[in-house]
Chains A and B, each alone.
Chain A
């Protein structure tokens, strides 16, 4: 397939080729005017830097243009439908951004005297109240930096509780085969051995196999609910009861809490710990890969082991507890300072906007949108499991069998149609997985347009037009990139060009 005629510059209208900053500017340019430093005797003790660093110099207009052009090479929720399963790409309200930038929040030093930061501590207190109210749990550790960090928090609390009990023999953690890869990585960091538990043909944990695996060496079970197949673990009460009867703890991976928020309280599921991705359920922006926040709610059994710092309501005000007090037995500290405060403010702004009724409506609409995607696609694509899904719809690649088109090819063709692809090849328990999460912030028109495109692509694949897919994407700033070359000979930074050799 030939593309339209190439331009003389390589630019294509709004998509403009942009060199690296190191290939622009000159050392005597600067985008910031700073006053002349005083000329006092230095106190560096002889460790002053010698020689140039090698940073480029650009003026402000050049810098603004550089990053604007880079931004135009990105897909984003602001620009279009982003049905990335298990990632929850919902709208990021701009009120949250404005609130986080109030000088009374943004310009606060973490070590100001408590009397000068009462509003900030109150904001953290209110966020805690929301998280505890929505989950019904005993305590919350706000400080984990993201989901995987929250998992670590919960699992370390479990390890601390086991140590306090003297349960040294409990070192096995059961993780379903469908789990996020972070679960086994986290369990290993806590000194646990991971044992897989199989799923059944309904896409859920096999209860019998699960119960058979529970013995007195089991420390905890890590379970995602709704699970990574987008299904509610309908036997969850039986599972959690069995976990507790076996003397183990129940860690719930809260990555998919957005499907049930305002409808199901985590305490009622028998959970001992669950992390909450504020950047998923509570709408804080993903920012191209962070920052997120992963506050972790804990049951009464684990609350004494929550890491520092704690926020404590104290009479009329709030206190930040940074050292052990009373009978608390924190396992330690997760993060510098007091956690992802800027993310807390954004999430709080969202919760206050939505209210408990709005959050309930949001989980309902998220599940409705996903089931609508399922209903529209189920005849043409191949759903992996029966029954209603939760917030995401899982398909496998059986519908592509014999077409010469893979899940990856299909995804790349969706990019050309103006959609971000769904999550691919995860969960691992189905072949060629396509996990679609529309979220509640998409209109029916938007979901319909997506379904129309997917159905048309599926027809095209079945009609035998494999080359259309294997050559996609064609309309992007770059076509498929050579990942093998990148990994075999990693180039991870810019290097100045070697001095020109003498002409041959």
Chain B
């Protein structure tokens, strides 16, 4: 069973032991609008917390997805290249960006849980 954490940059990270899956939240995909392009990291890339890990573009905006914690990329979601709309349609499931190992699980302590994230979003306009 994985545990779900969130960042203030509207990323989610589902942790299962010392590996995790990362994506963007429903709120984030709504803010971006129709996603037209996603670039995910290659397997093997090491990331420090806060590094730029992926790129996401909608018609009007481009933004980076940052590594919520430090670790190494196990796999990028190759399906997104041909089907970027998946991020809009299923941000929390099929629209995941990459899977990674965790090098320091204590970094998770800085992240929000579902309840904290919900109230964080509620506080935004």
Are chains A and B touching directly in their complex (CB below 8 angstroms)? yes
Binding site for B on A (CB under 8 A): 483-484, 487-488
B68 interface hit (Cβ, 8 Å): no
B122 interface hit (Cβ, 8 Å): no
Interface residues of B in 32-70 (CB under 8 A from A): 34, 36-37, 57, 59
Residues of A within 8 A of B85 (CB): 488
Nearest B residue (CB) for A425: B60
Residues of A within 8 A of B95 (CB): none
B84 interface hit (Cβ, 8 Å): yes
Residues of B within 8 A of A488 (CB): 34, 36-37, 84-85
A484, B84: Cα distance in complex, Å? 11
Residues of A within 8 A of B36 (CB): 484, 487-488
A85, B77: Cα distance in complex, Å? 42
A483, B84: Cα distance in complex, Å? 14
A470, B91: Cα distance in complex, Å? 27
A341, B84: Cα distance in complex, Å? 45
**What 0/1 readout, one digit per residue, does chain B (6-50) give for beta carbons within 8 Å of chain A?**
000000000000000000000000000010110000000000000
Residues of B within 8 A of A487 (CB): 36-37, 57, 59
User: Separation in Å of the A484 CB from the closest CB of chain B?
Assistant: 4
A483, B85: Cα distance in complex, Å? 14
Residues of A within 8 A of B57 (CB): 487
A483, B37: Cα distance in complex, Å? 13
Nearest A residue (CB) for B37: A487
* B contacts with A: majority SS: loop
Binding site for A on B (CB under 8 A): 34, 36-37, 57, 59, 84-85
Residues of A within 8 A of B59 (CB): 483-484, 487
Extra inter-chain contacts (7) besides given A484-B34, A487-B57, A487-B59, CB under 8 Å = A483-B59, A484-B36, A487-B36, A487-B37, A488-B36, A488-B37, A488-B84
User: Separation in Å of the B62 CB from the closest CB of chain A?
Assistant: 11
12 A-B pairs with CB atoms under 8 Å apart are A483-B59, A484-B34, A484-B59, A487-B36, A487-B37, A487-B57, A487-B59, A488-B34, A488-B36, A488-B37, A488-B84, A488-B85
A487, B60: Cα distance in complex, Å? 10
A487, B35: Cα distance in complex, Å? 9
A487, B57: Cα distance in complex, Å? 10
Residues of B within 8 A of A484 (CB): 34, 36, 59
User: Separation in Å of the A483 CB from the closest CB of chain B?
Assistant: 5
Nearest A residue (CB) for B83: A488
A133, B37: Cα distance in complex, Å? 49
User: Separation in Å of the B31 CB from the closest CB of chain A?
Assistant: 14
A487, B85: Cα distance in complex, Å? 11
A484, B61: Cα distance in complex, Å? 12
- Which are the 8 A-B pairs with shortest beta-carbon distances? A487-B36, A484-B34, A483-B59, A488-B36, A487-B59, A484-B59, A484-B36, A488-B84
A488, B57: Cα distance in complex, Å? 10
Residues of A within 8 A of B34 (CB): 484, 488
User: Separation in Å of the A182 CB from the closest CB of chain B?
Assistant: 16
Residues of A within 8 A of B84 (CB): 488
Residues of A within 8 A of B37 (CB): 487-488
User: Separation in Å of the A405 CB from the closest CB of chain B?
Assistant: 18
User: Separation in Å of the A181 CB from the closest CB of chain B?
Assistant: 11
Nearest A residue (CB) for B59: A483
Nearest A residue (CB) for B125: A431
Nearest B residue (CB) for A431: B125
A487, B34: Cα distance in complex, Å? 10
A488, B34: Cα distance in complex, Å? 9
A488, B86: Cα distance in complex, Å? 12
Residues of B within 8 A of A483 (CB): 59
A487, B32: Cα distance in complex, Å? 14
A433, B36: Cα distance in complex, Å? 25
User: Separation in Å of the A492 CB from the closest CB of chain B?
Assistant: 14
Nearest B residue (CB) for A408: B60
A483, B57: Cα distance in complex, Å? 13
Nearest B residue (CB) for A487: B36
A487, B84: Cα distance in complex, Å? 11
User: Separation in Å of the B55 CB from the closest CB of chain A?
Assistant: 14
A483, B58: Cα distance in complex, Å? 10
Nearest B residue (CB) for A483: B59
User: Separation in Å of the B15 CB from the closest CB of chain A?
Assistant: 32
User: Separation in Å of the A408 CB from the closest CB of chain B?
Assistant: 10
Nearest A residue (CB) for B33: A484
A483, B34: Cα distance in complex, Å? 9
A488, B56: Cα distance in complex, Å? 12
A487, B59: Cα distance in complex, Å? 7
User: Separation in Å of the A276 CB from the closest CB of chain B?
Assistant: 30
Nearest B residue (CB) for A488: B36
User: Separation in Å of the B53 CB from the closest CB of chain A?
Assistant: 21
User: Separation in Å of the B92 CB from the closest CB of chain A?
Assistant: 21
User: Separation in Å of the B96 CB from the closest CB of chain A?
Assistant: 19
A488, B37: Cα distance in complex, Å? 7
B34, B57, B85 interface centre (most CB from chain A within 10 Å) = B34
User: Separation in Å of the A237 CB from the closest CB of chain B?
Assistant: 37
A483, B36: Cα distance in complex, Å? 10
User: Separation in Å of the A170 CB from the closest CB of chain B?
Assistant: 26
User: Separation in Å of the B86 CB from the closest CB of chain A?
Assistant: 11
User: Separation in Å of the B37 CB from the closest CB of chain A?
Assistant: 7
A16, B85: Cα distance in complex, Å? 35
User: Separation in Å of the B125 CB from the closest CB of chain A?
Assistant: 10
Nearest A residue (CB) for B57: A487
User: Separation in Å of the A480 CB from the closest CB of chain B?
Assistant: 12
A488, B83: Cα distance in complex, Å? 8
User: Separation in Å of the B103 CB from the closest CB of chain A?
Assistant: 28
